[in-house]
Structures are given as structure tokens and as C-alpha cells.
Amino acid sequence: MLPPAGTEHRAQQMTLLSGMIHDRWTNAEFGHWLAELVEGPLAADPDGDMGANLRRLKREYDKKVKLPKSLVEELAQTAVFAQQAWVEARRQSNFNHFRPWLGKMLALKRQEAESLGYAACPYDALLDRYEPDARTADVAAVLAGLRQQLVPLVQAIRQGGRQPDVSILHRSFPPDVQQAFGRMAAARIGFDFDRGRLDVTAHPFCTGLGPSDCRITTRYDEHFFNEAFFGILHEAGHGIYEQGLLPEQYGLPLGEAVSLGIHESQSRLWENFVGRSLAFWQFFYPDAQRRFGALADVPLGQFHFAVNDVRPSLIRTEADEATYNLHILVRFELEQALLNDELSLDDLPGAWNAKYEEYLGITPPDAAQGVLQDIHWSAGLIGYFPTYALGNLNAAQLFRQADAELGGLDRHFAQGDFQPLRQWLGEKIHRQGQRYSAAELIRRVTGQPLSHAPLVDHLRRKFGPLYYE
């Protein structure tokens, strides 16, 4: 919403605030207190409440003191100008308008990586911001295994000879009815509207403003059912996580999400593993048919097939459950190449298009639908993209474990009972906060390290009967 002429003043504001926050975090007396406490009896149990809080705070302090205040301020300032340049570049579909700012942001992120230090490659330092303790090589290995299985699976789906009638999703769905139905479904799966809100915005998001103030948003298209409904489920999944964090730990590591990959696992789990399951719609579909006259003549099986449509697409945010991770792989690989100076900015648009052709079999017709479609790089969020794929992988592994421990989740879903899954996630994930790293949390909950196998197995079992078996 920022007017173009307001960019310079906003950049000054963000620069000032970023510097002030950095000063508070890196205060020498605060560092002295932490150093003393982590060696004392309060931290004797590193996984206990006090020990975990102190350990994670000390970790964050040690990272922030490595960053020069001038770099923190310049990153904040550049992000404001770069995002405004990206908006205009995308509107014009003109990569060259954004190129200088992307170049400056990359140079600053390289400085950030060098200041922080890293285990094996600069990307490690940036990935750690969103997935603490993760290593690029480990993420690359699990995503490579996923890619090897996913590309032929998508090809099998597309060559299977069956296609859903997606026109039924583009009939008339009045926004006010969509809002009421979506709100009801969000409440049913566990989003607490006494501690949260659902509103309309240009781009869906979830934000936690306090332990009892969680806001989720969506957007409505009268002629497309999926956008608002599954957007609501997705953001409600994020919101249920936020509402499940321990309120008495608010502001401390145990009252915060462990990583973006775990946070994304909660939204993808409720959106796809629950919300696009046949059992879910066995419960909700009769109500949907009563509310939406457009669905009155559509059998349940036909509707379920339509909301699980799989087809390669150009835009990441509109991608289906099966092809979505291929969009992430493109960005993950290009980010590393850019950061390592293995790919020039002049060659970036062509490299983007080549990877889309290789992984999805389609080529963007212009920059707006290609290299300029995401805001992340303009905001300096390099290392962020793989968390989306990690979210899907985490969701699959957690869902499989919950299904085994709870004796079959479909039985509960078909009866409209989502409480067992919500309680299981609350105990295993939400109330743990940052007690463990994401990798350790997954290992403790499922008994196995993160793997691509549960997600591939889920996709095969779901889409095989629909498309090619």
C-alpha cells in the first residue's frame, strides 16, 4: 500500500528501527548475563524449560553480535527500495528494472554470510536464519531424492489419460457464502476465533500479534472455489500452531515456532493432507452442497477429483500438491548458484526458464510469470524458499506418524472429528516451541530422520488411483 514517493522515508524508518533493535540484542551486558546463566544451575538441563530458553537465546545473541550494525541497517534500507523496484519491474515484466537492486541485495547477503560464518558454504549461514542448525548439503540431499521421484510421478499423472472436470470449481460461489463456509471449517479443525480473526487481504497470510491475537486472511474469487477455501485452511493451520504455543512462554524461545519448515508443515498438513482428503469431504460436502447451489448436481467423487487437479503451472502460489515442490527446487538451486557467483544476473532469466522447462515441461512467456513472480529476493529472503518444501516433507512424515498412533485418521475426519489430530500436534509440536531443532523434533516425534519417502508415498497413494491406476 506504500505510495511510490513514500519509499525513501520508509527506508529511513526501517533503517533506524533495525539499528535500534540490533543495539538491544547485542548489548554487552545482556551478553554477559547470558554467558553466566548458560553455565549456571538454571541451564543444567539443556532441554528443560529454562535451559532451552537460555540455550536458544545465547545462540541468537552469538549470531547477532557477529553482524556489523551498518550491515544490518543497509540490509533494511535496501530491502525497502528493492521491494518497490520489484513491484514496478513485475508490473512492466522488465527484469532489468529490478536487476541492479537484486545485485546489491546479493552483495549484502554475501557480506552477511561471511560475517556469520558457515560450516561448508555461504548458503549455510542464510538458511540457518529460517531453519536453525540446518545444513545446505542435508537439505539438498533430501530434496534431490524428492526430485528424482517427483518428476516421473508428475509425468505419470499427466500421461495417465484421466483428467478432472475443473470447470465445476469455476461456477458461481458467492463470496459471503464462501466466507461463512470457510470460517466454519476453520473453527471445526481447531482455529479459535475467540483468539483470532479471519479477514480479507490482497495476499493471504497469518500473523501472530500476541498469545491471544492471531490474524489470518484470505481473498475471494466468486468464480473459483479453491482459492479462498484452501487458503483459509492453509492459514488456519499456521494459526493453530500460533495458538498452540505456550502463552506463558510468549516472547521467549519456548513460546516461538522452531522453524519456518515446521510452521509450513502445519499449514500444508491441514490444507492438503486433511483438507483435500476424501474423508474430509465425506463430512463437509453435504453442507457445501446445501450452501452452494453450483455444487448441487456434482457428485462427491467428481468434486474430490477436481480439488486434487494436477497440472504443471507457471505460478508457484497456484501450484498443486504434486508439482509445488518442483517450483521450490528451481529457486533453491538458483539461489545457491547466484550466491556462489556461479550464475550471473544477466543469465538468471534464461536459467529460470530452462529449469521450468526441465522440471515442469513449461516455459514462462515473460519475466512477470517467470523470474519476477516472487517478492522474496527483493526482501533479502535468500534461504527462505527451501522451507516451503521442507514444510511438505515434514507434514508427510508427521501425518503418517499421527495416523499410525491415532489408529487411522480418515475414520475421525469422516465423522468431522479433528480434535485427536489437533491435540496430537499440540502435544508433539506446538507446545515444544524451540526446545529442539526442527531435525531433532522430527526425529523424536517420528523415530526417523527427515526423508522424502513419506511424501512420495503419500502422493502415489493419493494420485495413483485418481489418475493412472
pLDDT of 306 strictly over 80: yes
- pLDDT of 455 reads 98
Q: Which residue range is the domain that position 269 belongs to?
A: 143-321+386-467
> Mean pLDDT of all residues in the chain?
97
Question: Which positions ≥6 away from 93 have C-beta within 8 Å?
Answer: 366, 367, 368, 369, 372
In a domain, 340, yes or no: no
- pLDDT of 305 reads 98
In a domain, 458, yes or no: yes
Catalytic position from the list 112, 131, 235, 335: 235
- pLDDT of 1 reads 76
- pLDDT of 269 reads 98
- pLDDT of 315 reads 92
Query: Which tens digits make up the pLDDT trace of 226-263?
Result: 999 999 999 999 999 999 999 999 999 999 999 999 99
pLDDT of 344 strictly over 90: yes
Strands 196-200 and 206-210: unpaired
- pLDDT of 201 reads 87
pLDDT of 2 strictly over 90: no
In a domain, 172, yes or no: yes
Place of cell 554477559: 32
Query: Which tens digits make up the pLDDT trace of 161-187?
Result: 899 999 999 999 999 999 999 999 999
Query: Which tens digits make up the pLDDT trace of 112-128?
Result: 999 999 999 999 999 99
This prediction's pTM: 0.95
In a domain, 316, yes or no: yes
Query: Which tens digits make up the pLDDT trace of 194-230?
Result: 999 999 987 789 999 999 999 999 999 999 999 999 9
pLDDT of 318 strictly over 90: no
Name all contacts of 16-23 with Cβ < 8 Å and 24+ positions apart. Answer: 17/76, 18/72, 18/73, 18/75, 18/76, 19/69, 19/72, 19/73, 19/76, 22/64, 22/67, 22/69, 22/72, 22/73, 23/69
Neighbours of 246 (CB within 10 A): 16
In whole angstroms, what is the distance from residue 359 CA to residue 237 CA? Answer: 29
Map residue 448 onto helix, strand or coil: coil
pLDDT band at 469 (very low <50, low <70, confident <90, very high): very high
In a domain, 428, yes or no: yes
pLDDT of 340 strictly over 80: yes
Query: Which tens digits make up the pLDDT trace of 45-60?
Result: 999 999 999 999 999 9
Query: Which tens digits make up the pLDDT trace of 373-406?
Result: 999 999 999 999 999 999 999 999 999 999 999 9
Query: Which tens digits make up the pLDDT trace of 407-429?
Result: 999 999 999 999 999 999 999 99
Instruction: Specify the number of domains making up the chain.
Output: 1
CATH number at residue 308: 1.10.1370.30
In a domain, 379, yes or no: no
Looking at the chain, the whole-number percentage of residues with pLDDT higher than 90 is 97
Q: Is 235 a catalytic residue?
A: yes
pLDDT band at 6 (very low <50, low <70, confident <90, very high): very high
In a domain, 54, yes or no: no
Strands 196-200 and 213-218: parallel
In a domain, 29, yes or no: no
pLDDT band at 4 (very low <50, low <70, confident <90, very high): confident
